Structure 1
Amino acid sequence: MPEISNLGRLFAARRIELRLTQQTLADLAGVSRYSVQALERGSGGIKLASVIDIADILGLRLHATNESE
C-alpha cells in the first residue's frame, strides 16, 4: 500500500524535524516504540487512535475524503 508508506515517511520526517527519537515520541503518545516503527515503515499493525495521537503530537492533521465525490 503506497499510501501507507507515504504516510509513514511523512511522520518520520516530521519526527526528525522536531528532533524527537522514536522512543520519545512513543512515550509522549503512550504507545510502544514498535508502534512508531511500524507506522514509519508503513507496515500497519497500529491502531487508528494511536496514529491520530501521534499525528497530534507531531502537529499533523489527518484528512479523509470520499473518493466518489
Structure 2
Amino acid sequence: MSQPRRSSPNRNSPVPEIARIGESFAERRVQLHLTQQTLADLAGVSRSSVQSLEYGTGSVKLASVVEIADALGLRLQPMTIAETKAPR
C-alpha cells in the first residue's frame, strides 16, 4: 500500500504575485492560529481554495481571494502594470 503523498508549497508558481499573496495569507493564518479548514469556513470557501491560494497552485476565483482576505483581516490593494514590472 502506498503512502499518502505530501506536497510542499510551490513557490515557483507561474504567477508569482499569486504565490506572494498566498504566502502572506498563510503567514497571517498561522499568526491567527487558524487551520486551513477553519479559515475556509470563516471565508465561506472550500479548504482546497485556501490550500491552492497558499501554495500558489491551481486556480482560485478572485471573489474567493477577497473573502479569504476579509476573514484574515487583510485588504487587497490594486497594482498598476508599471508596479508589476518593477524589479524587486
TM-score by length of 1: 0.90
Counting matched residue pairs gives: 69
Contact in 1 for aligned 2:43/2:70 (Cα 8 Å): no
| Structure 2 residue identity aligned to 1:18 | L
Structure 1 unaligned residues grouped into runs of 5+: none
Residue type at the aligned position of 1:4: I
Following TM superposition, the consecutive aligned residue runs of length 4 or more in structure 1 with deviations greater than 3 angstroms are none
| Secondary structure in 2 matching 1:63 | coil
CA radius of gyration, larger in: 2
After TM superposition, give the deviation of residue 68 of structure 1 in Å: 4.5
SS at match of 1:65: coil
Report whether the alignment pairs 1:7 with 2:14: no
Identity of aligned residues (%): 64
Question: Any idea what the Cα deviations from partners look like across 1:9-66, whole Å, max 9, x if unmatched?
Answer: 1000000000000000001111111000000011141110110011011011100122
Query: Is the aligned partner of 1:35 residue 2:60?
Result: no
TM-score of the superposed pair, with normalisation by structure 2: 0.72
Backbone CA RMSD of aligned residues:
1.4
In structure 1, give the amino acid aligned to 2:59: G
> Which amino acid is the alignment partner of residue 48 of structure 1?
L
Which structure 2 residues correspond to residues 1-69 of structure 1 after superposition, within 5 A?
Answer: 1-68=15-82
Identify the structure with bigger relative contact order (alpha carbons < 8 Å, sequence gap 6+). 1
| Distance in 1 (alpha carbons) for counterparts of 2:82 and 2:49 | 32
